[in-house]
C-alpha cells in the first residue's frame, strides 16, 4: 500500500476528530454538559455518512469519489465517530450517579447509529450511480 493512502487516512482522521471535538464543545455550550449530546450527534451523523459513502463507492468503484475512500471512510468517518469516547462518557454518567441516564445513552445510541448507517445506505442506493 502506498504511503499516500496512509497519509490520506491520517489527514482524514485528524479533520474528523477536530470536527467531532468542535461539535462536542458547541453542544456543551448550547445544552450543558449533563448529557453527551455532541458525541451522540457525531456518531449518528458519521454513521449516516459512512453508510452513504460505502454504498456509493461500492456501486461505482472506479470514480473519483471511490479513490477518496481511504481519506473519507477510514480517515474522516473513523476520526469523526468514536466508540471509545462513548464508552468513557457512559462510565462518567455512572460514576456521577446517573446510571439510568447511562443506560438510556447506551440503549438510544446503538439503534440510532445502525439506523443512520442503514438510512445513509438507502439514500445512496436510491440515487443513480456516479460515473
Per-residue pLDDT, 108: 97
Q: Considering only CA atoms, which of 81, 19, 20 is closest in space to residue 49?
A: 81
- Domain presence at residue 46: yes
- Domain presence at residue 94: yes
Low-confidence spans in the chain with pLDDT less than 70? 130-131
**Beta strand residue intervals within the chain, DSSP E:** none
- Domain presence at residue 89: yes
- Domain presence at residue 74: yes
- Domain presence at residue 130: no
Q: Considering only CA atoms, which of 117, 96, 94, 116 is closest in space to residue 104?
A: 94
Report pTM. 0.91
Per-residue pLDDT, 127: 87
Per-residue pLDDT, 131: 56
pLDDT digits (tens, 9 = 90+) for 48-75: 999 999 999 998 889 888 999 999 999 9
Cell numbers of 59, please? 456501486
Domain that holds residue 105: 3-125
Contact 81, 44 (CB under 8 A): no
Domain count, the chain: 1
Cell 458547541 appears where? 26
**Taking the CB of residue 63, how many other CB atoms lie within 10 A of it?**
15
Per-residue pLDDT, 130: 61
CA 90, distance to chain mean position in Å, is: 17
Cell numbers of 22, please? 468542535
Amino acid at each position: 500500500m502506498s504511503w499516500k493512502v496512509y497519509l490520506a487516512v491520517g489527514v482524514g482522521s485528524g479533520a474528523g476528530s477536530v470536527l467531532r471535538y468542535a461539535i462536542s464543545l458547541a453542544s456543551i455550550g448550547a445544552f450543558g454538559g449533563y448529557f453527551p449530546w455532541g458525541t451522540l450527534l457525531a456518531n449518528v451523523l458519521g454513521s449516516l455518512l459512512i453508510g452513504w459513502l460505502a454504498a456509493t463507492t461500492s456501486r461505482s468503484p472506479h470514480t473519483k469519489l471511490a479513490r477518496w475512500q481511504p481519506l473519507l471512510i477510514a480517515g474522516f468517518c473513523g476520526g469523526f465517530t468514536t466508540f471509545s469516547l462513548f464508552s468513557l462518557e457512559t462510565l462518567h454518567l455512572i460514576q456521577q450517579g446517573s446510571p439510568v441516564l447511562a443506560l438510556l445513552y447506551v440503549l438510544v445510541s446503538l439503534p440510532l447509529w445502525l439506523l443512520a448507517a442503514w438510512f445513509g445506505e438507502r439514500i445512496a442506493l436510491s440515487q443513480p450511480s456516479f460515473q
